[in-house]
Amino acid sequence: MTQLELARKGTVSPQIKHVAEKEGVGTDFIIQGLAEGEIIIPANVNHTNLIPCGIGKGLRTKVNANIGTSSDFCDLNTELRKLQTAIDFGADTVMDLSTGGDISAIRRAIMNASTVPMGTVPIYQAGIEAIENHGAIVNMSVDEIFTVIEDHAKDGVDFMTVHCGVTQASLARLKKQGRMADIVSRGGAFLIGWMLHNDKENPLYQYYDRLLDLAFEYDFTLSLGDGLRPGCLADATDRAQVEELIILGELVECSREAGVQAMVEGPGHLPLNQIATNVQLEKSLCRGAPFYVLGPLVTDVGAGYDHITAAIGGAIAAAAGADFLCYVTPTEHLSLPGIEDVKEGVIASRIAAHAADIVKGVKGAKEWDEQMSRARKAFNWESQAKLSLDPELSQQVHSKIPAIGATCSMCGKYCAMAIVERYLGVSVSKC
């Protein structure tokens, strides 16, 4: 029985209990959110070492970290180090997007090592295997696609990106309007190529019931992918994107009827003034389903610094109601990320998520900042480090240029708080 079905029966599963305790809310709150489809707990029945995580309305904004090999660089040990780095610096979930090497073996190794929910994009493997076995992606069979999906489910994958909204109807919209950057979704491109070559409907849409049956059996969450997401600001919020979102909203309702958990993926590249609108559209069209956004990136010219462009967009999106941020690393658009890139991407997204949580009134968010403020007022550098997102870096930076006295080297003896304390007799509250 899925977490959604358990919630509808009023059953407090171990996963529900854990999420409630972690979020500081009652189990009734989680059960209601799950039952209504506004909260998900990605928890495949085969992921035995999982520490559950809740995503959705009223909960802390979550952060995902993408890792995985490519056809140009494949080293399992590196990916396992990326996984641990992502977890160490606070990623709530990870996705294995491997496209190089023994994809199944890599996935299983990462899966076995991951205590956080793990996602994949099965169409990647299905397409690559079709190239190896049949000479081209367009030659893969429907059964081969679903075999790969079931293999991922058997391995314990907790959520899967499935591009079910890329249909003949949405493609027709795209063809009619045109785009500057066309298709930037790899999974979307795989399916579009197959659809155009075979002149058939997207099998993930046509046989959605088959997908629902698998998701129900293993209780993996459907992450309804945005295969037509904009890859540049010029294509943001166009007809093709909205057409796909309308379809995804219909599929969300189908998944709920089937007792299957679902969330919706979103763009992509968006100008600042369109981010809130996109969140509102998703929440309306998809009946409050958790919204999982890539960034969004607010400019196209931040190459090398796209963790920053994404964090800006992520903060705005989450404050507007997005529930789940997919990190972007500094190497986005340029290269496969390294271990340090993973760290920087996670930290940037966590800053964005937390900034939004303060605005959303998430329990504990404002209090965390208040603790830091008291520590700064008291010149308690040890507490400041412990309260920061990266304690080790905080300590390193503070000690980089030694200061005389209790203040830091930025202001030295002219520190405003020290002056006020010394001359105005303002007492320092203790942390």
Average pLDDT, the chain: 95
* H helix and E strand count, the chain: 19, 10
Asked if 329 and 342 touch (Cβ cutoff 8 Å), the reply is yes
- DSSP state, residue 69: -
Comparing CA positions, the residue from 294, 289, 295 lying closest to residue 263 is 289
- What distance separates the 2 farthest-apart alpha carbons in the chain? 80
Asked if 270 and 230 touch (Cβ cutoff 8 Å), the reply is yes
User: Where are the domains positioned within the chain?
Assistant: 3-360, 365-424
The answer to whether the predicted template modeling score (pTM) of the entire model surpasses 0.75 is yes
Asked if 66 and 324 touch (Cβ cutoff 8 Å), the reply is no
Tokens representing 209? 């019931």
Asked if 282 and 264 touch (Cβ cutoff 8 Å), the reply is yes
362 by DSSP, 3-state: which? Answer: coil
Backbone phi and psi for residue 93, each to the nearest 5 degrees, phi listed first: -145, 165
DSSP 41-67: ----TT-TT-----EETTSPPEEEEEE
pLDDT one-digit tens code per residue, 380-417: 989 999 999 999 998 888 888 887 778 787 877 777 77
pLDDT exceeds cutoff 80 at 428: no
Phi-psi label, residue 87: left if phi above 0, alpha if psi -120 to 50, beta otherwise: alpha
pLDDT one-digit tens code per residue, 192-246: 999 999 999 999 999 999 999 999 999 999 999 999 999 999 999 999 999 999 9
Residue 51 exposure: Cα atoms within 13 Å on the Cβ side: 11
| CATH 3.40.50.620 matches 3-360 | no
